[in-house]
């Protein structure tokens, strides 16, 4: 199969490419390298099993050349920073909504039949029952990022209904793991690297969410796609439990060895406007396909903290 991975140089995209190439697929990566890192996929580019089209998916003319001869699109490129929407109000519209239109419209013109889309738990908004099942509605997101994911889902389902493409929409929990370049664990480690004596935590630390290890996430995507064959397939992808931000701070302090760091909370029930303090996805539908995760939330957090500390060489740096 020839797969197009938008955002393939990013955190989740690069892990997905490892799996796709591992099973023998040919991969085209479409990425503008804004938050991605070529090093994550360099070995595949060097081997000739992946090719890079450097382009911006907000520009239709950049998408077109990458779509030729593609069997399946994995659409992951987007602005990864939910908080940015509190300052810049059209980023998610451009990088999420317009960009997703460019992808599905280009698929229609090139007769590409299948898309898998990286959506998010944040589409459910903050009043959803926990754990939240896929059939919860109405979905009323409270961030501009969430609105763009919901718009992307709507565009994709309308292209399924109108033009007969097949789609897999995956609503991810918080995905963490090696090569992470953003998110709470990454932020905490970098804060401690700057100042090992204190760790500032946004909010009161009681925010509670589920965390899924990135290898589990990409394995779940490919497993579900091999089992489920409806025209439109909607799945939550997450783990069995949650972890609080307070617990994450404690684990990061412990794993970095910054035992004397004082953990200081900025207060308030959420990290920033538009943040959802408590989220947990119902994963019964994912489990019913026969797939289960290897890591629970806390195991994934510990594994990620250790991996990111190693990746940025924190211990070596602190000992010099
Ligand atoms: P990431 O920032 O590591 O990857 C995004 C990639 O897209 C990067 O390589 C970036 O360079 C590229 N990109 C961004 N804008 C682009 C544009 N206009 N044109 C071309 N390329 C562009 O982020 P990630 O965590 O790997 O997220 C991948 C997808 O999963 C995103 O759609 C994100 O919204 C979604 N998601 C992530 C999480 C999570 O916890 N990481 C949770 C829910 C959903």
- Is residue 175 packed enough to be buried (19+ CB in 10 Å), middle (13-18) or exposed (0-12)? buried
Confidence of residue 316 (pLDDT cuts 50, 70, 90): confident
Catalytic site residue from 101, 124, 145, 235 = 145
CA distances to 160, 306, 311 from 254, rounded to whole Å, are 48, 10, 17
Q: Looking at the predicted structure, is the pLDDT value of residue 312 above 90?
A: no
Q: How far is the CA of 80 from the centre of ligand 1 (A)?
A: 5
Q: Looking at the predicted structure, is the pLDDT value of residue 313 above 90?
A: no
Enter the pTM of the model: 0.98
Whole-number Å distance between alpha carbons of 244 and 50? 38
Element spanning 8, H or E: none
pLDDT at residue number 315: 72
Q: How far is the CA of 13 from the centre of ligand 1 (A)?
A: 8
Query: Which residue has the CA at smallest separation from atom 4 of ligand 1?
Result: 10
Q: Which atom of ligand 1 is nearest to the CA of 172?
A: 43
3 state DSSP class of 217: helix
**Mean pLDDT, rounded, of the chain:** 97
Query: Which residue has the CA at smallest separation from atom 41 of ligand 1?
Result: 175
Confidence of residue 319 (pLDDT cuts 50, 70, 90): low
Task: Output the ligand 1 site: residues, CB below 6 A.
Answer: 7, 9-13, 31-36, 56-58, 76-78, 80, 95, 99, 118, 120, 172, 174-175, 181
pLDDT digits (tens, 9 = 90+) for 234-289: 999 999 999 999 999 999 999 999 999 999 999 999 999 999 999 999 999 999 99
Q: Token pair for residue 311? A: 């990746």
Q: Which atom of ligand 1 is nearest to the CA of 174?
A: 40
Query: Which residue has the CA at smallest separation from atom 21 of ligand 1?
Result: 31
For a mutational test of ligand 1's pocket, the pick from 76, 116, 144, 173, i.e. the residue with the most ligand atoms closer than 8 A to its C-beta, is: 76
pLDDT at residue number 320: 63
Q: Looking at the predicted structure, is the pLDDT value of residue 216 above 90?
A: yes
Q: Which atom of ligand 1 is nearest to the CA of 58?
A: 18
For a mutational test of ligand 1's pocket, the pick from 32, 74, 78, 118, i.e. the residue with the most ligand atoms closer than 8 A to its C-beta, is: 78
Q: Estimate to the nearest angstrom the gap between the alpha carbon of 129 and the chain centroid.
A: 22
Q: Estimate to the nearest angstrom the gap between the alpha carbon of 181 and the chain centroid.
A: 11
Q: Which atom of ligand 1 is nearest to the CA of 75?
A: 32
Q: Which residue has the tokens 């900025």?
A: 266
pLDDT at residue number 10: 98
Q: How far is the CA of 265 from the centre of ligand 1 (A)?
A: 28
Q: How far is the CA of 197 from the centre of ligand 1 (A)?
A: 32
Q: How far is the CA of 222 from the centre of ligand 1 (A)?
A: 18
Q: How far is the CA of 7 from the centre of ligand 1 (A)?
A: 6
Helices (H), the chain: 11-22, 42-47, 60-63, 91-92, 99-110, 144-163, 184-194, 214-227, 245-256, 284-287, 297-311, 314-318
Examine the residue annotation and report whether 265 is marked as an active-site residue of this protein: no
Query: Which residue has the CA at smallest separation from atom 29 of ligand 1?
Result: 76
Nearest alpha-carbon partner for 76 in 38, 109, 46, 32:
32
Q: Looking at the predicted structure, is the pLDDT value of residue 217 above 80?
A: yes
Whole-number Å distance between alpha carbons of 222 and 298? 24
Confidence of residue 314 (pLDDT cuts 50, 70, 90): confident
Q: How far is the CA of 87 from the centre of ligand 1 (A)?
A: 19
Q: Mean pLDDT, to the nearest integer, of 210-215?
A: 98
Q: Mean pLDDT, to the nearest integer, of 90-118?
A: 98
């Amino acid at each position: 199969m020839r797969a197009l991975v938008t955002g393939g140089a990013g955190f989740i995209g690069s892990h997905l490419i490892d799996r796709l190439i591992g099973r023998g697929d040919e991969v085209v990566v479409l990425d503008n390298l804004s938050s991605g890192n070529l090093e994550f996929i360099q070995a595949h580019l060097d081997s000739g099993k992946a090719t890079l089209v450097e382009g911006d998916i907000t520009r239709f003319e950049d998408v077109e050349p990458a779509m030729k001869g593609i069997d399946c699109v994995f659409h992951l490129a987007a602005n990864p920073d939910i908080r940015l929407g509190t300052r810049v109000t059209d980023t998610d519209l451009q990088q999420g909504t317009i960009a997703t239109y460019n992808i599905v419209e280009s698929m229609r013109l090139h007769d590409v039949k299948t898309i898998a889309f990286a959506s998010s738990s944040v589409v459910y908004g903050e009043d959803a029952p926990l754990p939240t099942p896929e059939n919860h509605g109405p979905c009323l997101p409270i961030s501009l990022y969430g609105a763009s994911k919901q718009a992307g889902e709507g565009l994709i389902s309308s292209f399924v209904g109108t033009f007969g493409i097949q789609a897999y929409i995956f609503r991810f929990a918080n995905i963490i793991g090696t090569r992470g370049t953003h998110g709470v664990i990454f932020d905490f480690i970098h804060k401690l690297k700057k100042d090992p004596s204190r760790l500032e935590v946004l909010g009161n630390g009681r925010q509670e969410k589920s965390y899924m290890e990135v290898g589990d996430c990409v394995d779940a995507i490919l497993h579900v796609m091999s089992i489920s064959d409806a025209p439109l397939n909607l799945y939550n992808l997450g783990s069995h439990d949650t972890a609080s931000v307070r617990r994450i701070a404690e684990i990061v302090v412990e794993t970095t060895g910054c035992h004397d760091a004082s953990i200081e909370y900025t207060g308030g029930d959420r990290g920033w406007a538009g943040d959802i303090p408590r989220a947990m996805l119902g994963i019964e539908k994912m489990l019913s396909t026969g797939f289960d995760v290897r890591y629970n939330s806390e195991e994934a957090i510990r594994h990620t903290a250790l991996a990111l500390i190693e990746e940025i060489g924190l211990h070596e740096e602190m000992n010099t």
